[in-house]
Amino acid sequence: MATHRTQPNSRERHVNSLFTLLGIETWKPVLAALLLPPVPFLLLLLLGARLILPRRGLGWTIVVLGVAGIWVTSTTGFSRFCEQFVLKVPSAIKTDRLAQLKADAKGKNNYAILVLGSGAESFAPEYGVSNLTAFSAERLRYGNYLSRETGIPLAFTGGVGLAAGQGAAEAEIAARMATQDFNRPIKWLEDQSRDTHENATHSIPLLKKAGISHIVLVTHGYHMPRAKRAFEEAAQGQGITIEVAPMGLAQRVEGAALDWFPTGLGYWKSRNDLREMLGLLMGA
User: Where in the chain are the domains?
Assistant: 91-248
Cα(270)–Cα(77) distance, rounded to whole angstroms?
A: 9
pLDDT in tens, 154-186: 999 999 876 656 779 999 999 999 999 999 999
Q: Which residues are CB-neighbours of 34 under 8 A, at least 6 positions away?
A: none
Residues above pLDDT 70, as percent of the chain? 87
- Top CATH class of 91-248 equals alpha beta
Residues with Cβ < 8 Å from 284, sequence gap 6 or more?
Answer: 14, 15, 16, 28, 195, 196, 197, 226, 278
pLDDT single digits (tens) 21-31: 555 566 667 77
- Can you tell me the distance from the alpha carbon of 164 to that of 120, in angstroms, rounded to the nearest whole number? 8
pLDDT mean over 62-83 = 95
Look up the pTM and report it: 0.86
Q: What distance in Å separates the CA atoms of residue 133 and residue 266, rounded to the nearest whole number?
A: 20
Q: How far is it, in rounded angstroms, from Cα 205 to Cα 266? A: 38
